[in-house]
C-alpha cells in the first residue's frame, strides 16, 4: 500500500476510531485504489463531486432553469434492477438463511468476492462514506460506513442518508457499525454478487452500479441486515411506508403500510386527499422503510431510517402523485429516464403530449410511436425528503411516531377485496404472510406473475422466513396497544381488464374507513375473510363509479379463494417445520369457513 493510502487511512483521517481505521486499511490493501477520500457530507463536497461526475460523463446536467440542481445518469443496460438471483445471505448454517433466500457459506463468499475485489480499484478512488440510518442521535438509529469506487453511489447516499461528519461523530469510538464494501468492477453480470453477512454486520456488493444493489444503506442494511438485527434486538425492520393522516378535528393517526416495489407505496405515502375531503391532511413520514420498536407506553413506534426517496418514475404525474412531481422539481438525480431536446426529463405516463423526438434511456435517438420504451420501466428518481411539500413534521423525530394501523397490500387483478380488517393480530399476521402480488419491473424476471410476498419482504428478509413470521407473532407479547391490521387491493379488475377502483388520491376514501375503524367510529360487517365495510361506508360521491363496480371491488368469491388457498399451500410447504403453528391454524380455520 502506497504512502498515499497510509496518509489517507491513518493520521489524516477525520476519525480516531481504531476499528474503522483498521477495516478501511484492510479493504484498501485488497482493492488497491489510487487514492482514498473520506466524505464529509458538505455542500462544497457535493459541488466538487458533481462537477467531477459531469466531467467524467457519469452525470448529464439537465436544463437548470427547468430543473435546478438536477442531473441524469444512464446505467449499463445489463444493470437496471435489483438482482435477486445474485443476492445472497451468508450464514454458517444454511437453514438460518431459509428456503426463500439464496445462501452462500460465509468463508466461501469472502474468498470468492475477495478475488473479485483484489485490485478492483486500481486507477480509481475509494470513497469512505459514513452514514446514519435514522435521525441523528435517535435510539433506533444505526451507523454504517460504505466504501465505494462510485461517485454515483456517493451522491445518492448523500441524498438517501444522513451522510458524512455527523454520522462519524455519532459513531465516535464504537465498533458497532455496518461494514459495507462496494465496487462496480467491470459491471459484468457474470461477476455480480450482493452478499450479506448478518453475524458480521457486513455487506459486500460487487459488479453493479444500480441503486438497489449498491446503495448499501437501503435494502441491504435497512432491511436484510436490519431484519436480522430486529429479531436479535426485539424490533421490526419492514418494507413499509409511514404516513400521518389528520382529520378535520385535528387528530393525527399514524399508519404503516407494506406494498411490494412499484405497487404504489410512494403514491400512497404522498397522497393528496380529494377536494371533497376538506380539512383532511396526509403527511409523509417515510415512503419505503419503517423501523418499529415498542415504546415505554407499550405502543409500536416507527421511524423512517432514510433521508430521501428512491422512487420509480414511470407513471408519476400530477394526477397520480402531485407531491412527488413537486419533490423531483429540483436537486434530484434521475436514472435511466429519457431526455427532451431542451434538456428536461421524460418518461412514460408523464403529463402532457408525448414529444416527437427524445433521447432514450440508453442515449439513443427515439421518435414518437417507437415500440420501445423511451424511459426504462424501472427508471428512478433520487430526491431529498425535504423537497416533499407533504413531509411530516415528525419525519426527523428520533423517537418515531405511534403506529395505530398496519396495512398490507399487493397488486392483484382478482380475489383480494378492496379493503378488509383482520379479526386480531394473529389473523393480521396471516394476511401479511399470505400476501400475493403480481410481479413488476422493479425486479428482474417475468412481469405479471403472482408470487407470495409475505409483508412485501420476500426479497429483503435477512433470515429464515418462517422465523421472521414467528417474530411477528412474538411481538404481540411486548406490544400492549396493538395496531389494527388491514389488507387492501387497489388493482382489482373487471372481466374486461378495467380497474374497478380509481386509486391514487381516491384511496383516501378507504383510508378514512381504516382510520374510523382504528378509533371505533363505525360498525362493520363480518365475512369469511375478515371485517369489511358495510354498503355505503366507503363514500363514492363525486366518483364516476356505478354501485356495481364497488360491489365487485369488495366482493369475496369462494371459488377464487379456494384456488388462492392452494397457491398459499405451496408457500407454506416451502417453510417446512418452521411454518408457524399459529398461522397453520389460521389457514385451517379459513379452509373450514370456506368449506361451509
CA distance 562 to 564: 5
Looking up cell 408523464 gives: 350
Angle (CA) 327-332-337 rounded to 5° is 105
- Strands 401-409, 300-303: parallel, antiparallel or unpaired by DSSP? antiparallel
Q: Is 463 annotated as a binding residue?
A: no
Q: Is 492 annotated as a binding residue?
A: no
Q: Is 239 annotated as a binding residue?
A: yes
Q: Is 261 annotated as a binding residue?
A: yes
Nine-digit cell at 452? 407470495
Q: Is 47 annotated as a binding residue?
A: no
CA distance 7 to 33: 13
Q: Is 288 annotated as a binding residue?
A: yes
Q: Is 468 annotated as a binding residue?
A: no
CA distance 287 to 39: 26
User: Beta strands of 320-361 (E only): which ranges?
Assistant: 333-335, 338-339, 345-346, 357-359
Q: Which runs of consecutive H residues, i.e. helices, occur in 42-105? A: 43-55, 94-97
CA distance 293 to 524: 30
Task: Give Cα separations from 35 to 7, 32, 120 (angstroms).
Answer: 10, 9, 13
Q: Is 263 annotated as a binding residue?
A: yes
CA distance 222 to 459: 13
Q: Is 263 a catalytic residue?
A: yes
Contact between residue 339 and residue 346 where contact means Cβ atoms under 8 Å apart: yes
Q: Is 505 annotated as a binding residue?
A: yes
Q: Is 378 annotated as a binding residue?
A: yes
Nine-digit cell at 162? 444522513
DSSP annotation of 552 = H
Q: Is 414 annotated as a binding residue?
A: no
Q: Is 209 annotated as a binding residue?
A: no
Q: Is 394 annotated as a binding residue?
A: no
CA distance 573 to 535: 38
Q: Is 266 annotated as a binding residue?
A: yes
Nine-digit cell at 570? 405451496
Q: How far is CA 43 from the centre of its chain?
A: 27
Q: Is 102 annotated as a binding residue?
A: no
Q: Is 265 annotated as a binding residue?
A: yes
Nine-digit cell at 19? 476499528
Task: Give Cα separations from 99 to 107, 249, 423, 455, 570 (angstroms).
Answer: 20, 48, 29, 16, 12
- Burial (CB < 10 A; 0-12, 13-18, 19+), residue 352, is exposed
CA distance 239 to 461: 9
Q: Which of 220, 263, 370, 461 is catalytic?
A: 263
Q: Is 281 annotated as a binding residue?
A: no
Contact between residue 30 and residue 306 where contact means Cβ atoms under 8 Å apart: no
Q: Find, among 531, 535, 560, the residue nearest to 550 by Cα.
A: 535
Q: Is 63 annotated as a binding residue?
A: no
Neighbour count for residue 225 (Cβ, 10 Å) = 27
Task: Give Cα separations from 257 to 72, 121, 285, 483 (angstroms).
Answer: 30, 40, 12, 12
Q: Find, among 363, 412, 457, 416, the residue nearest to 557 by Cα.
A: 416
Q: Is 10 annotated as a binding residue?
A: no
Angle (CA) 468-473-477 rounded to 5° is 130
β-strand partners of 303:
291
Q: Is 276 annotated as a binding residue?
A: no
Task: Give Cα separations from 494 to 61, 435, 552 (angstroms).
Answer: 44, 21, 8
Coil, helix or strand at residue 508 = helix
Binding residues for Mn(2+): 219, 239, 288
Instruction: Specify binding-site residues.
Output: 82, 210-212, 219, 239, 261-267, 288, 378-380, 411, 504-507
- Residues forming the annotated binding site for GTP? 262-267, 380, 411, 504-507
Catalytic annotation, residues: 263
Binding residue ranges for substrate: 82, 210-212, 261, 378-380
Amino acid at each position: 500500500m502506497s504512502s498515499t493510502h497510509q496518509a489517507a487511512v491513518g493520521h489524516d483521517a477525520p476519525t480516531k476510531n481504531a476499528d474503522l481505521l483498521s477495516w478501511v486499511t484492510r479493504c484498501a490493501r485488497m482493492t488497491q485504489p489510487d487514492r482514498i477520500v473520506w466524505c464529509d457530507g458538505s455542500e462544497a463536497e457535493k459541488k466538487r463531486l458533481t462537477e467531477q461526475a459531469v466531467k467524467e460523463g457519469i452525470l448529464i446536467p439537465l436544463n437548470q432553469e427547468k430543473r435546478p440542481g438536477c442531473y441524469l445518469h444512464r446505467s449499463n443496460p445489463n444493470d437496471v434492477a435489483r438482482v435477486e438471483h445474485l443476492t445472497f445471505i451468508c450464514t454458517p448454517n444454511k437453514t438460518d438463511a431459509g428456503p426463500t433466500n439464496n445462501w452462500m457459506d460465509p468463508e466461501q463468499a469472502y474468498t470468492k468476492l475477495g478475488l473479485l475485489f483484489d485490485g478492483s480499484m486500481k486507477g480509481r478512488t475509494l470513497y469512505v462514506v459514513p452514514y446514519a440510518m435514522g435521525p441523528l442521535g435517535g435510539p433506533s438509529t444505526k451507523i454504517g460506513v460504505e466504501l465505494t469506487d462510485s461517485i454515483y453511489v456517493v451522491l445518492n447516499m448523500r441524498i438517501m442518508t444522513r451522510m458524512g461528519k455527523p454520522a462519524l461523530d455519532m459513531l465516535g469510538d464504537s465498533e458497532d457499525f455496518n461494514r459495507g464494501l462496494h465496487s462496480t468492477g467491470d459491471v459484468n453480470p457474470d461477476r455480480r454478487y450482493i452478499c450479506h453477512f448478518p453475524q458480521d454486520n457486513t455487506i459486500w456488493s460487487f459488479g453493479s452500479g444500480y441503486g438497489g444493489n449498491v446503495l448499501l444503506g437501503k435494502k441491504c442494511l435497512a432491511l436484510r441486515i436490519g431484519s436480522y438485527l430486529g429479531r436479535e434486538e426485539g424490533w421490526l425492520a419492514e418494507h413499509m411506508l409511514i404516513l400521518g393522516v389528520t382529520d378535520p378535528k385535528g387528530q393525527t393517526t399514524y399508519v404503516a403500510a407494506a406494498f411490494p416495489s412499484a405497487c404504489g407505496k410512494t403514491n400512497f405515502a404522498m397522497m393528496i386527499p380529494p377536494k371533497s375531503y376538506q380539512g383532511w391532511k396526509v403527511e409523509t413520514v417515510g415512503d419505503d422503510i419503517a423501523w418499529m420498536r415498542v415504546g415505554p407506553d407499550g405502543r409500536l413506534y416507527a421511524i423512517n431510517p432514510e433521508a430521501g426517496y428512491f422512487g420509480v418514475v414511470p407513471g408519476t404525474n400530477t394526477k397520480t402523485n402531485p407531491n412527488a412531481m413537486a419533490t423531483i422539481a429540483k436537486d434530484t438525480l434521475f436514472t435511466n429516464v429519457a431526455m427532451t431536446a431542451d434538456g428536461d426529463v421524460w418518461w412514460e405516463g408523464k403529463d402532457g403530449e408525448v414529444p416527437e423526438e427524445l433521447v432514450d434511456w440508453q442515449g439513443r435517438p427515439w421518435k414518437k410511436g417507437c415500440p420501445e420504451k423511451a424511459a426504462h420501466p424501472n427508471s428512478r428518481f433520487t430526491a431529498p425528503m425535504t423537497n416533499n411539500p407533504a413531509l411530516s413534521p415528525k419525519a426527523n423525530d428520533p423517537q418515531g411516531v405511534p403506529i395505530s394501523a398496519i396495512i398490507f397490500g399487493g397488486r392483484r387483478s382478482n380475489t383480494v377485496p378492496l379493503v378488509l380488517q383482520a379479526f386480531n393480530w394473529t389473523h393480521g399476521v396471516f394476511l401479511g404472510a399470505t400476501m400475493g402480488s403480481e410481479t413488476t419491473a422493479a425486479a428482474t424476471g417475468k412481469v405479471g406473475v403472482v408470487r407470495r410476498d409475505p409483508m412485501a419482504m420476500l426479497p429483503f428478509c435477512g433470515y429464515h422466513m418462517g422465523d421472521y413470521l414467528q417474530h411477528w407473532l412474538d411481538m404481540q407479547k411486548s406490544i400492549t396497544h396493538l395496531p389494527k391490521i388491514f389488507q387492501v387491493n387497489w388493482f382489482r379488475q373487471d372481466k374486461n381488464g378495467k380497474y374497478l377502483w380509481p386509486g391514487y388520491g381516491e384511496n383516501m376514501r378507504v383510508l378514512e374507513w381504516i382510520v374510523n375503524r382504528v378509533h371505533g367510529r363505525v360498525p362493520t360487517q363480518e365475512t369469511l375473510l375478515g371485517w369489511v365495510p358495510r354498503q355505503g361506508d366507503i363514500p363514492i360521491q363525486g366518483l364516476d363509479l356505478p354501485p356495481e363496480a364497488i360491489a365487485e371491488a369488495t366482493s369475496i368469491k369462494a371459488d377464487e379463494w379456494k384456488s388462492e388457498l392452494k397457491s398459499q399451500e405451496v408457500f407454506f410447504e416451502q417453510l417446512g417445520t418452521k411454518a408457524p403453528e399459529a398461522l397453520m391454524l389460521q389457514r385451517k380455520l379459513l379452509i373450514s369457513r370456506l368449506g361451509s
